[in-house]
Amino acid sequence: MNIIIIGVEPPCPRCRLLHEITLEVVHELGLQADVEKIACTSDEAQRFGRTGNAHDIAQWAGIDVDWDTVHRLASAGWSQALDDLLMPCKEKAATEGL
């Protein structure tokens, strides 16, 4: 089994958490799986479809985001406040199939 996590490089708090949880689950279930991280900007990631990070989505969709607050929150790791701040980007990505 090959599990590919597409995210930003260096990993954001959410990408890092997803990678850690994925490794834990693979280990707990005793699965034989390669867990690979690839950058959303890479050619390999683009083969899966249109990919991007929150900044890309905000730019594409014209969503105003307080990036200073995002960076401050992200530097402390994942938090609900960070998720809430970026939720408009997540929702837009979902409606656009990103």
Summarised one tens digit per residue, pLDDT across range 43-73 is 999 898 878 788 888 998 899 999 999 999 9
Read off φ and ψ for residue 44, nearest 5 degrees: -60, -45
CA separation for the pair 19, 57 (Å, rounded): 22
Amino acid at 11: P
Residues 69 and 95 in one domain: yes
Inter-helix orientation angle 80-96/54-61, to 10°: 50
Residues 40 and 59 in one domain: no
Tokens matching residue 23: 């490794």
pLDDT above 80 (res 35): yes
What per-residue confidence (pLDDT) applies to 37?
94
Residues 36 and 76 in one domain: no
Instruction: Report how far apart, in Å, the C-alpha atoms of 74 and of each of 9, 18, 25, 54, 92 are.
Output: 14, 15, 24, 12, 20
pLDDT above 70 (res 98): no
Our count of domains for the chain comes to 2
Domain span holding position 69: 53-98
pTM of the model: 0.66
Residues 31 and 63 in one domain: no
